[in-house]
Amino acid sequence: MEKRKDYFDKHASKWDEHLRYDEKMLRLREIVGFFELSKGYSVLDVGTGTGVLLPFIKDAIGPEGSLFAIDFSFRMIEQARNRPGINPEILINASVEAIPFHSNRFERVTCFSAFPHFPNKTKALSEMVRVLKKGGKIFIAHLHSIEEINQLHREIGGAVGNDFLPSKEELHKLLIESGLCEISLLNEPGRFIAQGRKL
């Protein structure tokens, strides 16, 4: 866990440089479009990293909405706090395995480009579901397919070399076991989105 945290702390300041600005904005907006957000929704973004999705989520839920974000890397949270238009107070240095919110708090829990890095995926999902309101939805999203993500992490090696996104079958099982229903998974080149609704 500490090696993984050190990895993200070390790379936080340059994390957003791997995509061209215009392309990144377009693709991130597209991803958030899948989250079925409405004005006034309460949203928690887990494993937020540098907070790249937060401006798009904030725009979708409006000023009447409620947005919070957590990440276990303090340096990543520091970078997110520098993001224009984002209130630093919504950013919390915390683990997804111990989310610091009451149960049944959010309409949406989003997880972008982070799920492979959770060492205990069962515990992470359990916590994500716990803070979700009844009828609320969880979204796990990436700008790559399962195969692309896992190959990328193998190539990077080191602290994230074994951080893999489960297969569609394995993830479907994890989502069901965590208490979600209406599961759907989209896995194609350049995009992965999994979702489920809390019973």
pLDDT tens track for 174-196:
999 999 999 999 999 999 999 99
Contact 102, 131 (CB under 8 A): yes
Tens of pLDDT, residue by residue over 25-39, are: 889 999 999 999 999
Number of domains the chain contains: 1
Domain that holds residue 95: 2-198
CA 100 to chain centroid, in Å, comes to 16
CA 151 to chain centre: 19
How far is C-alpha 117 from the geometric centre of its chain's CA atoms?
Answer: 10
Query: Per the structure block, which two tokens stand in for 76?
Result: 């990543």
Give, to the nearest 10 degrees, the angle between helix 168-177 and helix 121-130.
Answer: 50
- Residue 97 · residue 117 · CB < 8 Å: no
pTM for this model (two decimals): 0.87
Structure tokens at 78: 């520091």
